[in-house]
Amino acid sequence: MRRVRGQMEIMGLAIIIILVSLGLLFAVQWMLKAPKEQVQRAKESVLAANFMNTMLGITTDCNDRTVRELLQDCALTGGITKCGEQTSCAFVQDILQRLFDATFKRWNTKYHFAMSGATHVEQLNFNTQPCPGEREQKKHPLPVLPGFEITLSLEICR
């Protein structure tokens, strides 16, 4: 009888060890899933930041000026610089629209790009809707003059 009782105790301990092991397995699996979501967000945020930095550094056909310089000109003077027959505001709007079409529209990714801080850049229209749900965003201040800056905002919808 003692032998059977000892075997039952060992069997009970084995069952408890198995249940605790399964619980730990689920806990570890759950803990490993959370960082993957955070890493994905960080990647998208880096994507928005890298896209914005690259976009501003593109040299255009308008007197070899960068997109950054054209946006600064548009904000400060309302587009006094001429790029062929267009103003700098219209020219930079065309450049940005082609850039967004070649990337986000090609990737079938919704986005929202907005500029604020000056009347002329706020009038540039990119036909985008604000992201309805989750999004990753990068705001980039662009100094025009000391004490005067415009803010560029890029949202990548999830």
**Token pair recorded at residue 54:** 């690259």
If we measure between CA atoms, which residue out of 63, 54, 122 comes closest to residue 91? Answer: 63
pTM of the prediction? 0.69
Number of separate helices (H) and strands (E) present in the chain: 4, 5
111 neighbors 128 (Cβ within 8 angstroms): yes
pLDDT tens, residue by residue, 38-86: 665 655 578 888 899 999 999 999 889 999 999 888 888 888 889 888 9
> 113 - beta bridge partners?
154
Average pLDDT, the chain: 83
